[in-house]
Every structure is written in C-alpha cells, then in structure tokens.
C-alpha cells in the first residue's frame, strides 16, 4: 500500500497494491501498521458505515465537533464518487478551502479525512456504495453540516440536478467567522 499526502495538510490518499490474476484481484484494504507508520499516529477506527446512493446524490458536508469529532477513511465498494474534504481548522493556511478526489471500484483508492474537516461526496455513476471507517462514534448532538451548494465555496460536484436531503440543504452556508471546536 502506498500513501500520498494531498495538497491540504492532513489529507491522505491511500493507494492499495492490487494483485490481479485469472480469478480477479486481491488487495489489502487496510493495514493499521502501515497506516500508523505513515501518519506517525495510532489509528483507532471504531465504527464502519456504508451507504448506497444513485447518480446525482450529494451527501454532506458533514462533521462532528469535540468531544465527538471524527477522522474518516473513505472507500468505494462499487461505482464512482467525487469525495470532498473542506478544511475547518481555523489556524490552518487552507482554512475554508476544499480538496476533491475521484474514488471508484477501479482505482480502489481510499481517502483519509482527519478531524477538523467537513466531508461529503457526490455520486457520479448510476449507483455507488460508499464505506467509511471512523475513529469516534456517531453523536447526534455534536453533528453539524454545511450547505454543499454554498456559492462561496464554489464546489463543482460534477453532477446535474443534484439530489440532496432536506437536512443537508438546510444546513447553513460556510462562514469564515464561525469557530469549529475539534
């Protein structure tokens, strides 16, 4: 498995080694020892989530604040998504900026999104099944979101006629004066 730092500090792209033969392929989807060695921190994933969505769906931008903030390791089991991480770390040089990456069932990449980021994705294929591990349990009282269509963020979700939950579209726009507690 290879790891690459992304343009925004803290974001990591995980590229698994895929072994192909006449039966199909094999890959290790997660190796704690290699991941921990690359990050220099001990990972502690405790919950795995899975969603399936149809083309045009946008889920996010979601995050949890302290004491329930979460890091996520996102992968796609089938289909293709545009995965997006928005930097909410007030003291970061990239505060308010986002990074996006294509994840699909061909490249089998995984995207690590640490605490301090809002996360979301759009479905680019007919259907996509997305799985992600988190290092803190879901906590409704510390869950928040940002409107994914906020014009100031100008995220190109690469879909026409997006399908967004009422809850997500009702989230406030990003405001650089907000202070998020991670």
Q: Considering the candidates 55, 62, 98, 109, report the single residue annotated as catalytic.
A: 62
CA-nearest of 50, 172, 48, 55 to 122 is 55
Known active-site residue 119: no
The enclosing H or E element of 158 equals: none
Kindly state the tokens that stand for 88: 């909410």
To the query of whether residue 109 is one of the catalytic residues in this protein, the response is: no
24-26/143-145 β-pairing: unpaired
The residue annotated as part of the active site, out of 55, 98, 109, 132, is 132
Sign of CA dihedral 79, 7, 167, 51: positive
Q: Tell me the sheet residues that pair with 57.
A: 163
**Contact (Cβ atoms closer than 8 angstroms) between residue 171 and residue 146:** yes
> Annotated active-site positions, please?
62, 132
């Amino acid at each position: 498995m290879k790891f690459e730092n992304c343009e925004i500090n803290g974001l990591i792209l995980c590229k698994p080694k895929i072994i192909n033969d006449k039966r199909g392929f094999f890959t290790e989807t997660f190796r704690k020892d290699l991941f921990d060695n690359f990050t220099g921190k001990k990972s502690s994933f405790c919950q795995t989530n899975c969603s399936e969505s149809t083309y045009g769906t946008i889920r996010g931008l979601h995050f949890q604040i302290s004491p329930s903030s979460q890091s996520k390791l996102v992968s796609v089991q089938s289909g293709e998504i545009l995965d997006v991480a928005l930097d909410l770390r007030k003291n970061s040089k990239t505060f308010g900026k986002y990074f996006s990456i294509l994840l699909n069932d061909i490249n089998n990449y995984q995207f690590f999104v640490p605490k301090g980021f809002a996360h979301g994705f759009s479905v680019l294929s007919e259907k996509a099944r997305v799985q992600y591990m988190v290092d803190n349990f879901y906590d409704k009282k510390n869950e928040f979101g940002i409107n994914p269509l906020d014009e100031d963020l100008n995220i190109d979700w690469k879909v026409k006629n997006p399908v967004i939950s009422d809850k997500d579209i009702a989230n406030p726009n990003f405001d650089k004066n907000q202070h998020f507690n991670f």
